[in-house]
Amino acid sequence: MVKNLVYFFPHLRSMQNSREGESPAAELALENKPITEYMVGPAPLEGTNFDEDWACYRDDDVIRQQDAIQAVEAEKIPLVGDKEHILALAEEFQSGSPVIQSKIKLLSEKYSNLRRTRGDGNCFFRGFMFSYLEHILDSQDGSEVDRIQSSIVQCKKALQDLGYAEFTFEDFFMLFIEQLQCVFNGHGDSYGHDELLKRSQDPSVSNYVVMFLRFVTTGEIRRRSDFYEPFILGISDSSVDQFCKTAVEPMGAESDQVQIIALSDALGVPIRVVYLDGSTTSLEVNHHDFIPTLQDEKTQSNEGSESKINQSPEPFVTLLYRPGHYDILYAK
């Protein structure tokens, strides 16, 4: 029987229609700033004379203009789109590289559909969010719901052990738990595919779940900093702390393999990433399965059969990666 998720999060409340009264940390996070800035940063200066710094006004004007442009673009591209036939990609690259066209044809042999996500820097987390919740909705896998709720409890504890105040992340955690409840039909407020898509397209829901996943990811990287440091040094000159502040925690920060590994390990969810690019070194469409490290270790310690040790769980989250962007893929 699925455990009562609210037991682990006693303050769970409905946030479906409103985000009024959210914590200051939640507001800060959704302004594309790292949460650690809220926790340890200096207080704002009082009595600042902005007349002495006209550049502030110019910057504000630029920001407002950028926000207006992004708002117009947002109306054209939903946060999560409708399901499309995989060959819609061929139309997109109709005048592009013949190599890409060939790879799309190969892709269509294994995958039937894709679902686009907005290219706003959050596409990996948003694609993961929708794909995972859709899997629970379709499978009604109670054991998986039990398993991930236990992982979420551990993620929450890890953040607290790292010094994060609970109020900085509780709103995001609660909202994800609410969505998990709603796609699992063992709860009275469950909903179907149309409602899942509607909520995933609602910024007041979708962005909160993205921040939940960013918290989970930064907590995992910081908790196992010795493990992740070599990966980080391989792609940047940043320390683990700097990397989390600039490349994980802020909304809009794009994701690479480090974030994928960390999220997969923290939640125990295998992720398949299929790569589509114009490289001529191989005309095949390659993929990589990110299998949770700790899950692998646990499986190998508990299973006596060598054949079972060598078996990896089949990922039920599959994302298509094109340079700088992730969409959702559906296998045939």
Structurally, the chain folds into a number of domains equal to 1
User: Do the domain assignments include residue 92?
Assistant: yes
The SS3 assignment for 13 reads coil
In tens, the pLDDT along 58-91 reads 556 656 666 666 666 656 789 999 999 999 999 8
- Confidence at residue 109, expressed as pLDDT on a 0 to 100 scale: 96
User: Do the domain assignments include residue 9?
Assistant: no
CATH of the domain at 203: 1.20.1300.20
Q: Identify the residue whose tokens are 């609602």.
A: 202
- Confidence at residue 190, expressed as pLDDT on a 0 to 100 scale: 73
User: Do the domain assignments include residue 268?
Assistant: yes
In tens, the pLDDT along 103-138 reads 999 999 999 999 999 999 999 999 999 999 999 999
Burial environment of residue 213 by CB neighbours within 10 A (0 to 12, 13 to 18, 19 or more): buried
Read off the tokens for 131.
Answer: 């794909």
User: Do the domain assignments include residue 84?
Assistant: yes
- Please identify every residue annotated as catalytic: 120, 123, 287, 325
- Confidence at residue 293, expressed as pLDDT on a 0 to 100 scale: 85
By residue range, what is the domain housing residue 120? 51-331
Reported as half-sphere exposure (CB side, CA atoms, 13 A), residue 112 has a value of 4
User: Do the domain assignments include residue 13?
Assistant: no
Q: What is the pTM of this model?
A: 0.79
User: Do the domain assignments include residue 7?
Assistant: no
> Among 271, 285, 260, 276, which residue's Cα sits nearest to residue 314?
271
* Least confident among 12-16, 25-29, 170-174: 12-16
User: Do the domain assignments include residue 218?
Assistant: yes
Helix axes 170-183, 193-200, angle to 10 degrees: 160
In tens, the pLDDT along 176-228 reads 999 999 999 865 567 899 999 999 999 999 999 999 999 999 999 999 999 99
- Confidence at residue 105, expressed as pLDDT on a 0 to 100 scale: 94
Residues 173 and 154: their CA atoms lie apart, in Å, by 12
Residues 297 and 22: their CA atoms lie apart, in Å, by 39
User: Do the domain assignments include residue 29?
Assistant: no
Taking CA atoms, 39 is separated from 80, 165, 167, 271, in Å, by: 31, 8, 11, 32
Let me know the angle formed at the C-alpha of 216 by 207 and 189, rounded to the nearest 5 degrees. Answer: 55
- Confidence at residue 188, expressed as pLDDT on a 0 to 100 scale: 55
